Amino acid sequence: MIIPNWSWEPKPDYTRLLKALSCQGDPHFVPFLELFADTEVIAYLLNEPVFRDNDKESICISLDQKIRFWYQLGYDAFWEEAILDFPNLIKLSVEDTAPLASANRRWVDEKAGVITNWEQFERYPWPKVSDVNFFPMEYVAHNLPDGMAMIASVNGILETVMWLMGYETLAYNIYDQPDLVQAMFTKIEEIFIPLARSVVEMDGVIALWMGDDMGYRTQTMIAPKHLRQYVFPIQKEIAAIAHEQELPFLLHSCGQLETVMDDLIYDVGIDAIHSFEDIIEPVESFSARYNHKIAIIGGVDVDLLARGSEDSVRARTREILEACAPGKGYLLGSGNSITNYIPTSNFLAMLDEGWRFNTEYYS
């Protein structure tokens, strides 16, 4: 593995991660947690090829890589998901110019999706829970090193509707076809509720993490009143499913969410929040208001990780640790994820600074 010659060895212990997620962690030892790392980053740091094929052997190799990657870098857990396919999504692509580029960078068309009217809604081949492939989670659960655990992942409620309708179409239809919009969210609820019940009961699962981008730089993607009408009730159901199994419910959501943060904490029932950009609000400012109420994950800005120097990454990481760790509910990580355009040296510098912080008090 292409890593520095660190003086510490991985000793995973997911119980310390759970303590931090319940705001009862050690203020002198901060666990690491990431939403994900791009496949190219994992393969590069392992000095191994990327496996993208969908045959079972390639999937197993890819999952083995993921396990080794997170273990050797000192993580106690990482998330894995069951495969639930929403077919025919309309996607755009351009050439990927990142240092560890894949063939193309792809995203869902934000204008018009595969469902824009009632006829398309009725024709769409909606997936069922019986279609879900749980093999990746089952494989990870049976191959984790001692002390490591798995966090189950489910797709977002608003995100999935935006992918299917297109963000622009959804925004218009909230006013032009509210009955269709309600039908979309009801259909997603019918799929995701039984899926959530299935994944929280799987071996090795210690938490449930939903990724549901609901904001952008200045405000929420749809009005707070519409989030309360369509999105939060389903998120609340899924959070309750996690809590029934005594598992914390983690939320990843990009964007400015201040107008709905109380809804997320006190109504939906999130236990932790992830995704921070310094240009929206530095993580330590958020921590000053919300630590002890919910756990806080990440916050080392992706722009800094992508374009800053190793020294600036170390300095910023240390600032965040010193400000957030005393709250006993902070987990170190990037503001979003470890993308293939982040220099791996900067990613490793963030982790190395975390290891230094974690060992100084007890040395």
User: Residues 223-272: pLDDT tens digits?
Assistant: 999 999 999 999 999 999 999 999 999 999 999 999 999 999 999 999 99
In whole numbers, what is the pLDDT of the chain averaged over residues? 95
Work out the average pLDDT over 63-80: 96
CA dist 13 and 17 (Å) reads 7
User: What does 31-75 look like in DSSP terms, one character per residue?
Assistant: -B--S-B-HHHHHHHHT-------SHHHHHHHHHHHHHHHHHTT-
Q: Is 90 exceeded by the pLDDT of residue 5?
A: no
Protein fold of 14-36+78-360: TIM Barrel (3.20.20)
Which residue ranges make up each domain of the chain?
Answer: 14-36+78-360
Residue 1 pLDDT level (bands cut at 50, 70, 90): low
Q: Is 317:11 a contact under the CB 8 Å cutoff?
A: no
User: At 54, is the pLDDT very low, low, confident or very high (cuts 50, 70, 90)?
Assistant: confident
pLDDT band at 8 (very low <50, low <70, confident <90, very high): confident
**Distance (Å, whole) CA 145 – CA 168:** 45
Predicted local distance difference test score (pLDDT) of residue 12: 96
SS3 363: coil
13 burial type by CB count under 10 A (0-12 exposed, 13-18 middle, 19+ buried):
middle
The predicted model gives 17-35 an average pLDDT of 97
Q: Report whether pLDDT(2) > 70.
A: no
* Predicted model pTM: 0.96
pLDDT digits (tens, 9 = 90+) for 176-222: 999 999 999 999 999 999 999 999 999 999 999 999 999 999 999 99
